[in-house]
Chain A
Amino acid sequence: MKNKSQGLSNSQTTVIVAMNIIGFAVLFIPQNATELAGVDGAFVTLSAGLVSMFLAGLIVILSSRFPNETVIEYSQRILGKPLGKLYGAVIATHALVVASHVLRGFADAMKVLLLPKTPLEIIMICMLLLCLYCIHGGISTIAKICEIFTFPILSIISITILFNLPEVQMFRFREAFSSGLTPFIKGIPGVSMAYLGYEILFFLIPFMKNKKSALLSGTAGLVLPIFVYTGLVFVAIGLIGTITTSELVYPTIHLSRRVGTSLSFVERFDILFIAFWILAVFTTVTIYLYMSALSFTRLIGLRNYKPFIFMILPVTYILAILPQNIAHINILTKVTNYTGLSIAASSIPLIVLSVIRKKGDGHNG
């Protein structure tokens, strides 16, 4: 039977964006924020989230000018063929590198926190095979998986935040804004990198059922991450303190471990947290891999992306296994973060150019 409800619904778009953002960064966002902005971390996280929401809105506005095309096609119309293809290739490679980077970070965290004796390779290959299975079902399966996993992921993070909330000591926030607005503003770009993941909006519009409400549903995808990240940073600063938080590798795990002491049902809540966090990483890696496979396919001009997954998976695996130590990984983190941010910000010049060159939004052709 022909499904009349084909295409992504509004809530599915929202959830895909949210689940793509919430992923690996959950583990270290308090460290990231306190390192960059000190006591102002929570406010910076909130502001960075709002800035990201604005960028996501711009991406939707740009994509809505070309409602039936992904960024790969319309960038070639805006920038011209060679430049547009280059831009598309950058996006595709970026998605691939981010996927492999998240995968590596995930495997490292798993090895430290859950399975000390299991080889990295096994952890990564299992995850990649899962992603393969999910991507094979197409965007509708990915969307449904995101919808299903939203509840468990959010509940485990909410429990971590809510159970720690009563113990937050407000005196730790005394020094907020003490050093003026400069570090506050300086911290925003750094923290907003944790919100990367809304680039998927470059691709979602053509798949949407109700394209007119894309702006609302797309930007709404950032509400959940803002809530989650700000909450985590706030609780971490109020509970552990700025200096300690900025020195922990996975401060969120530290927070979740404290839940176990107030909850006599499980001894170490952090193990449970990690288990559910796997779901968050899974959705992130899957969506990035999908994004990459789709981009490469469209770059070449084909429609069926499924054969490309099989080509991309080994590359992802090799890229993930390549870094030898944490220093390499940190370099990679910086590279992916800056390219991600610049890709997100590139929507501004693209919008300007498309308006000037009269492409899209009724000027098609």
Chain B
Amino acid sequence: MKKIKRKKNPKNREVIEERQAPKPPSEERISYSQLSKSINDNYEKFQAFLKESTDAVFRRFRLGINGIDCAIVYIDGLTDKTVIIESILRPMMLTVSDEGKDAESRSGTDNAYDLVLNYLVAAAEIKETDNLDEAMLSVMSGETALIIDGYNRIILISTRGWPVRGISEPETESVIRGAKEGFTETLRINTALLRRKCKDPNMVVRTVRLGRRSKTDIAYVYIKGITNPLLIEELEERLNRIDIDQVIDSGHLEQLIQDNSMTTLPQIQSTERPDKAVANLMEGRVVILVDNSPFALMIPTTFSQLFQSPEDYSERWIVSSGIRALRWISSFLAVFTPAVYIAVVTYHPGLIPTRLALSIAATRDGVPFPSIIEALLMETTIELLRESGARLPGAIGQTIGIVGGLIIGDAAVSAGITSPIMVIVVALTAIASFVIPTYSAAIGLRIMRFPLMILAGILGLYGVMIGFIIINIHLASIKSFGMSYMTPQAPTIFQDMKDFIIRAPARSMKKRPIQAYPIDMIRMDMD
């Protein structure tokens, strides 16, 4: 990364140090600096950065025992003030009595720094640093920096505490039977949710900071002994390549590390559900958590995974298989129904039974547009409705749905803009696309039907087949972290077919799917 290179360059460092000190920090300045022994110097260094920010709190005080100058710096709102008062200020300022003397004698030194570190600060998590950069970053993420006069080290006390959203039911992936908790915006809560579901100490949570300015914490979680080390290597390499000022969300990170940008489909699956994430960990995948994002990423991802819901494994296999098959059928319906309708009505009316063909012709009687225009019009309208319903607050969204449904279903037909059959086709398409459990896959598939409709309008069923072939070539050519997207269908892996269109009985899935190249294949050792 560029920044590290710049740091290592000694010339640059000199320049930066010259520009340091009381001058107001310009935006481009790189905040590398060694701390000095004088509290005033250190204090000023912090102030140079933070004095314009109103949420930065500086507090100078004297140590109760020997009156040494001390100061704490923290950001208001990111810290828990009772912790600061109870674990830092109170013991340090008020310990004047025998306790302190006792402590001093016990430590066998009059080194104030050691005394504070070992006897006075009663916090659970403490770090030390002599680097202003590190101290700054810690302060910005909610820790309190404690400066003591005469020492060029800073004690960083973990006092993090900010308002968090509680764990709530995931909205995008709701299940009827299954866990109801979802990830939140706080990274630590999310890792804790994973830990609670898997107590294996081999579950490794590693963290990197990405974003030159945002310093977003990104944790990737995997299970040592199942996950293929090559996969982790590849992920680390891709993460290292990122040099950006802010990682907005896991969806943003997804696009920075994915294989192929020229596609509408997600090559990295995201989920709001810890149970799904842990199930994926157990299959040898890596789960990536991004701070401030309630969506976890899972790599590698195959197309068939986008049709799986955690509920499939809670219900009996026959029922789940039926539902799984329904999802696949509905994905075909969502993509191909309008195109096939256009092709059949325009070019091959012979395909449909005569009576139906006649009634379609009768309903299309007064419609002024060719069916391709009619279909594009109606499909665009339903997309408008869907998008406006998604953006509006709940109650109004429902109103929009009712109004839109009424207008489109009834008024458009009676006004002669469209035929009732077209309304059925459009409604069927919309409903079918909502069956797909992964939202990003559903929108990715839905958008494909527009080019397909145009192809069908030009070349009839041949056009539909051309679209079908193009989609399949595209799906066959993309990969997700080295794994073919169409696995287990292409390349065909019969073992993984157990969890594909049907979901085989739980006892029959004795091995992990090889879709993530796990190094330990055995999942079950029972009859």
Give CA–CA (A282, B465) in the complex, Å: 10
- Partner pick for A144 among B230, B464, B469, B476, CB 8 A cutoff: B476
Give CA–CA (A118, B230) in the complex, Å: 52
The digit string for B450-492, where 1 denotes a CB below 8 A from any CB of A, is 0000000001111011101110110011010111101001111
The digit string for B321-355, where 1 denotes a CB below 8 A from any CB of A, is 00000000000000000000000000110111110
Give CA–CA (A9, B230) in the complex, Å: 22
In chain B, residues 358-404, which have Cβ atoms closer than 8 Å to a Cβ of chain A? Answer: none
Q: Is B43 located at the chain interface by the 8 A CB criterion? A: no
Q: Is B234 located at the chain interface by the 8 A CB criterion? A: yes
Q: Is B183 located at the chain interface by the 8 A CB criterion? A: no
The stretch of A36-44, A89-97, A270-278 in contact with B is A270-278
Q: Is A331 located at the chain interface by the 8 A CB criterion? A: no
Which residues from B are CB-within-8-Å of A268?
348, 350-351
Which residues from B are CB-within-8-Å of A115?
347, 459-460, 462
Give CA–CA (A2, B479) in the complex, Å: 11
Contact A11 B492 (CB under 8 A): yes
Contact A114 B476 (CB under 8 A): no
The stretch of A126-134, A196-204, A216-224 in contact with B is A126-134
The stretch of A24-32, A145-153, A183-191, A237-245 in contact with B is A145-153
Interface-centre pick from B477, B486, B517 (highest chain A CB count, 10 A):
B477
Quick one: closest B residue to A266, CB to CB? B351
- Give the shortest distance, in Å, between A232 (CB) and chain B (any CB): 21
Give CA–CA (A115, B470) in the complex, Å: 20
Q: Is B96 located at the chain interface by the 8 A CB criterion? A: no
Contact B489 A148 (CB under 8 A): yes
Give the interface SS of chain B, mostly helix, strand, loop or mixed: helix
Give CA–CA (A2, B234) in the complex, Å: 9
Q: Is A264 located at the chain interface by the 8 A CB criterion? A: yes
Contact B473 A145 (CB under 8 A): yes
- Give the shortest distance, in Å, between B496 (CB) and chain A (any CB): 13
Q: With A144-B491, A267-B351 as given contacts, are A2 and B482 in contact (CB-CB < 8 Å)?
A: yes
Interface-centre pick from B469, B482, B483 (highest chain A CB count, 10 A):
B469
The digit string for A270-307, where 1 denotes a CB below 8 A from any CB of B, is 01101110110010000000000000000000000000
Q: Is B116 located at the chain interface by the 8 A CB criterion? A: no
Which residues from A are CB-within-8-Å of B486?
144, 148
Which residues from B are CB-within-8-Å of A11?
491-492
Q: Is B407 located at the chain interface by the 8 A CB criterion? A: no
Interface-centre pick from A115, A137, A144, A275 (highest chain B CB count, 10 A):
A144
- Partner pick for B353 among A140, A147, A264, CB 8 A cutoff: A264
Contact B234 A148 (CB under 8 A): no
Which residues from A are CB-within-8-Å of B476?
137, 141, 144-145, 148
Interface size class for chain A? 35 or more
Q: Is A5 located at the chain interface by the 8 A CB criterion? A: yes
Give CA–CA (A155, B265) in the complex, Å: 27
Q: Is A143 located at the chain interface by the 8 A CB criterion? A: yes
Which residues from A are CB-within-8-Å of B473?
130, 133-134, 137, 141, 145
Which residues from A are CB-within-8-Å of B479?
3
Quick one: closest B residue to A209, CB to CB? B491
Which residues from B are CB-within-8-Å of A2?
230, 482
Give CA–CA (A1, B40) in the complex, Å: 52
Which residues from B are CB-within-8-Å of A122?
459
The digit string for B227-252, where 1 denotes a CB below 8 A from any CB of A, is 00011011000000000000000000
Q: With A123-B462, A144-B486, A147-B492 as given contacts, are A267 and B472 in contact (CB-CB < 8 Å)?
A: no
Give CA–CA (A271, B351) in the complex, Å: 7
Q: Is A12 located at the chain interface by the 8 A CB criterion? A: yes
Quick one: closest B residue to A149, CB to CB? B472
In chain A, residues 1-16, which have Cβ atoms closer than 8 Å to a Cβ of chain B? Answer: 1-5, 9, 11-12, 15
Which residues from B are CB-within-8-Å of A272?
351
Which residues from B are CB-within-8-Å of A267?
350-354, 357
Interface-centre pick from B350, B460, B479, B492 (highest chain A CB count, 10 A):
B492
- Partner pick for B230 among A1, A130, A143, A278, CB 8 A cutoff: A1
In chain B, residues 93-133, which have Cβ atoms closer than 8 Å to a Cβ of chain A? Answer: none
Contact A143 B357 (CB under 8 A): no
Give CA–CA (A137, B347) in the complex, Å: 32
- Give the shortest distance, in Å, between B332 (CB) and chain A (any CB): 11
Contact A130 B352 (CB under 8 A): no
Which residues from B are CB-within-8-Å of A143?
490-491
Q: With A148-B476, A266-B351, A271-B350 as given contacts, are A279 and B491 in contact (CB-CB < 8 Å)?
A: no
Q: Is A332 located at the chain interface by the 8 A CB criterion? A: no
- Give the shortest distance, in Å, between A134 (CB) and chain B (any CB): 5
In chain B, residues 261-314, which have Cβ atoms closer than 8 Å to a Cβ of chain A? Answer: none
Contact A114 B482 (CB under 8 A): no
Q: With A147-B491, A148-B489 as given contacts, are A271 and B472 in contact (CB-CB < 8 Å)?
A: no
Q: Is A110 located at the chain interface by the 8 A CB criterion? A: yes
Q: With A267-B350, A267-B353, A275-B464 as given contacts, are A133 and B470 in contact (CB-CB < 8 Å)?
A: yes
The digit string for A231-271, where 1 denotes a CB below 8 A from any CB of B, is 00000000000000000000000000000000011111001
Give CA–CA (A143, B354) in the complex, Å: 40
Contact A114 B351 (CB under 8 A): no
Quick one: closest B residue to A263, CB to CB? B353
Give CA–CA (A148, B350) in the complex, Å: 28
Give CA–CA (A5, B465) in the complex, Å: 30
Quick one: closest A residue to B230, CB to CB? A1
- Partner pick for A12 among B231, B461, B465, B491, CB 8 A cutoff: B491
Which residues from A are CB-within-8-Å of B470?
130, 133
Q: List 27 A-B contacts (CB under 8 A).
A: A1-B230, A1-B233, A2-B482, A9-B492, A11-B491, A12-B492, A110-B462, A118-B459, A118-B462, A126-B459, A130-B466, A133-B470, A134-B469, A141-B477, A143-B490, A144-B476, A144-B484, A144-B490, A145-B469, A145-B476, A265-B353, A266-B351, A266-B352, A267-B354, A268-B351, A271-B461, A282-B469
Closest 3 CB pairs of A and B: A1-B482, A144-B490, A144-B476
- List chain B positions with a Cβ less than 8 A from chain A: 230-231, 233-234, 347-348, 350-354, 357, 459-462, 464-466, 468-470, 472-473, 476-477, 479, 481-484, 486, 489-492, 517
